[in-house]
């Protein structure tokens, strides 16, 4: 974060860009001046990305926190700012403010089994948590990645997912809502995978990111296998404008997503989670 003014974006330029799916893309950024000590961040935090003359949008950081010189964001082109971001090329410049928000409790989870449940682009905010666990793999028990998407074409990072399974001994279950006959994997919603894993719920922590309805039903399934709300963490999305708690756009009950989130321990918000107009 800019130590002088957190409202002032720092100029970065695009090092690489890639189209992941039909509407999802990844940008790898570097400081315009090429200096500095990298861009330290914690898994689950987000940046405000600013397209000069267009606008600003909050995007979770999806790179490897053990390699802070590489600042990576994966997002979907769904609005004016993100569609413009998608059109930028290597060498183009943009503004970055951050990092902001709370993080996945990766260090606190040491000694436990980990269950990661994610849908669609929700894998992007969880990817840094996985990389931090991989860097200290011996400190964790079983790691499950339960990943769902609408179709095979909507799955992200599949080359990496296959590598993770073999190189870091994680158990991966992938499913899609619908697929053609040549799809050899699971078909169905990702919540159905939760009951098929083998864990000790007392020594398990769960990280969830995806559409709210998916997270709600995932929490139901976790209850069935004995994982308590205080050992479950979810990442919430709201319309964040200032990222420092001034504007109130991201208010969620008594919380502000930009300061108190986006990662919440579930028992802190379970009384308002899933309610409309909150």
CATH of the domain at 87: 2.40.30.10
Is residue 62 a part of any domain in this protein? yes
pLDDT in tens, 177-220: 999 889 989 999 999 999 999 999 999 999 999 999 999 999 99
126, 216: one domain: yes
pLDDT tens digits, one per residue of 143-163: 999 999 999 999 999 999 999
For residue 207, the enclosing domain spans: 113-232
What pTM does this model have? 0.94
Task: Please count the structural domains in the chain.
Answer: 3
Where among 42, 66, 100 does a domain terminate? Answer: 100
CA distances to 180, 211, 270 from 107, in Å: 40, 25, 23
- CA separation for the pair 129, 109 (Å, rounded): 11
In terms of domains, do 90 and 190 share one? Answer: no
Query: Token pair for residue 270?
Result: 């379970």
Q: Could you say which of 67, 100, 133 is where a domain stops?
A: 100
């Amino acid at each position: 974060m800019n130590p002088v003014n957190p409202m002032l974006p720092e100029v970065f330029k695009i090092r690489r860009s890639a189209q992941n799916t039909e509407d999802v893309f990844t940008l790898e950024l570097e400081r315009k001046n090429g200096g500095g000590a990298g861009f330290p961040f914690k898994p689950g935090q987000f940046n405000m990305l600013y397209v000069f003359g267009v606008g600003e949008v909050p995007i979770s950081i999806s790179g490897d926190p053990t390699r802070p010189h590489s600042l990576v964001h994966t997002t979907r082109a769904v609005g004016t700012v993100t569609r413009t971001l998608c059109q930028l090329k290597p060498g183009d410049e943009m503004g970055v403010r951050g990092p902001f928000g709370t993080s996945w409790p990766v260090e606190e989870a040491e000694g436990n089994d980990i269950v990661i449940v994610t849908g669609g682009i929700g894998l992007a905010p969880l990817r840094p948590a996985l990389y931090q666990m991989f860097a200290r793999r011996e400190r964790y028990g079983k790691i499950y990645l339960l990943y769902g998407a609408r179709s095979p074409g909507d799955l992200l990072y599949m080359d990496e997912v296959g590598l993770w399974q073999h190189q870091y001994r994680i158990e991966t279950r992938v499913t899609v809502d619908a697929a053609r006959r040549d799809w050899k994997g699971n078909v169905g919603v990702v919540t159905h995978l939760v009951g098929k894993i083998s864990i000790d719920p007392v020594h398990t922590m769960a990280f969830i990111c995806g559409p709210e309805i998916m997270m709600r039903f995932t929490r139901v399934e976790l209850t069935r296998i004995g994982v308590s709300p205080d050992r479950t963490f979810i990442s919430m999305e709201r319309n964040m404008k200032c990222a420092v708690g001034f504007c109130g756009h991201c208010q969620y009950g008594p919380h502000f997503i930009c300061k108190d989130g986006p990662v919440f321990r579930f028992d802190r918000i379970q009384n308002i989670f899933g309610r409309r107009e909150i």
